[in-house]
Amino acid sequence: MVKPSTVLVVDDEPGIRQSFKMVLKDRFNVILAQDGTAAVDLLTRNSVDLILLDILLPDIYGLDLLQKLKTIDPGPEIIMVTAVKEIKTAVNAIKLGAYEYIIKPFLVDDVINIINRALEKHRLQKEVTFLKTELERFQPFEEMVGENEEMKKIFDFISTIADSEGAALIQGESGTGKELVARAIHRLSSRQDKPFVVIPCAAIPQTLMESELFGHQKGAFTGASRTTTGKLELADKGTVFLDDIDTLDISMQAKLLRIIQEKEFERIGSTKVIKIDVRFVASCNKDLKSLIKEGKFREDLYYRLNVYPIFLPPLRERIKDIPLLVNHFLSLNAKRTGKPLKFFSGGALQLLQEYDWPGNVRELQNLVERCFTVSKNAMIRHQDLSYLNTKKTRIRGLPLKEAVSLFEQQYINEVLESVDGNKSKAAMILGVHRNTLIAKSPPQKK
């Protein structure tokens, strides 16, 4: 069930406050304040979505209180309420950030309509803020690809755990696609239409991490010129992805543990408790158990996050997936640029499968994009990838017989590509019979 929006009514007349409560209580969570002091206190202690604010209060002028409340929390929409119809006051209220201005006495339907429009604006603003953060994190590949048996098991596991509320810990080398797994968990869950907020722990300086996560009040520290909403608050009802959590320092780990347990926190410089409903997914590329032994990672946080462990294999262990991934990235580049689709020749694909990919899937993705952009031909050939040092990575450490066989295969592929796959010409260049060449060369991959 969706939690109702909270409306704060600020008015010094008991009859008006109770009238608003009677009108609104069936649709919203209503809290009441009789003056400015009470309003500030309630806003500080509660998560408020909208404020109905009287202009004439006993302890502070309504427009002054409007500015003060906006400083405390800029999120809630504010609707000014008065018994006096004065255009100048209405204009000033709008300039100071009020959403609307209503006159007493009012019609119930009119008030409900204005409140609904204001709350819709409030929701859209939060969504825009979230989308801006997402655009900064946009990745050009949109789905996971693979037929490797280990990857199939991972796909099944993701489907199984997606609708659970338990935290997931994704481990694997850099570039193996940990964020894609996190996004897949989110997309398959009941939270799929809610925010997926990425917190790149390694990219955020530790001095700014608290502000990024929790947000801060205006004036909370030097340079805090305005109140900001933290990423945890933006993620409410959705999923938080803690990328590279192994880089988080011990003090922040303790604070994060409390949030995962309690699902609540306070902005920096504020005592107001903000409650959130989020699912946590984390990733790391280091061995957390080793970091625990070294005193660099909290054991209790590890067990909180490791409810559903996922281990991603490096690309060198899923070589058969390389042609699938290459075709996927080529298609994405063609769609993105509007250019004709390109292909890798059989020899080029074999070369890619002989490389050990220290940068994993991310390195392959970058290589495909570079080849797609730079190659003037529809077919990307073996010689276009001459900078890949496969001989060192694949031949070194092999028995002599296997190393000779691998070198022979590489050389045959290079010669075949130089003559556009003409086996008769290639056999002449190599000094062997055509049948011998056919026996030694694998079928061309499409």
108-157 confidence digits (pLDDT tens): 888 899 998 888 887 777 666 655 555 444 443 345 666 778 888 888 89
* Residue 222 neighbours by CB distance under 10 Å: 6
Rg over CA atoms, the chain: 30
Q: How many CA atoms lie within 13 A of 283 on its CB side?
A: 24
pLDDT, residue 136, reads 42
In angstroms, the first-to-last Cα distance of the chain is 52
pLDDT, residue 37, reads 94
Measured CA to CA, the distance from residue 184 to residue 205 in angstroms comes to 28
Measured CA to CA, the distance from residue 80 to residue 50 in angstroms comes to 11
278-329 confidence digits (pLDDT tens): 999 999 999 999 999 999 999 999 999 999 999 999 998 888 889 889 988 9
How far is the CA of 238 from the CAs of 129, 244, 292, 301, 341, in angstroms?
14, 19, 29, 21, 36
How far is the CA of 334 from the CAs of 8, 138, 343, 345, in angstroms?
52, 18, 11, 17
Those residues with Cβ within 8 angstroms of residue 70's Cβ, 6 or more apart along the chain or in another chain: 78, 96, 97
pLDDT, residue 445, reads 42
pTM over 0.75: no
How far is the CA of 288 from the CAs of 238, 297, 336, in angstroms?
26, 7, 38
What domains sit in the chain, N to C, each tagged with a CATH number?
A: 6-123 (3.40.50.2300), 149-313 (3.40.50.300), 316-440 (1.10.8.60)
Those residues with Cβ within 8 angstroms of residue 365's Cβ, 6 or more apart along the chain or in another chain: 140, 141, 325, 329
| Residue 179 near residue 243, CB atoms below 8 Å | yes
Measured CA to CA, the distance from residue 249 to residue 280 in angstroms comes to 18
| Residue 417 near residue 384, CB atoms below 8 Å | no
Low-confidence stretches of the chain (pLDDT beneath 50): 1, 135-142, 392-393, 445-446
String of DSSP letters for 356-409: --TTHHHHHHHHHHHHHHH--SSEE-GGGGTTS-HHHHHHTTS-HHHHHHHHHH
pLDDT, residue 133, reads 53
Region at 97 (left for phi over 0; alpha for psi -120 to 50; beta for the rest): left
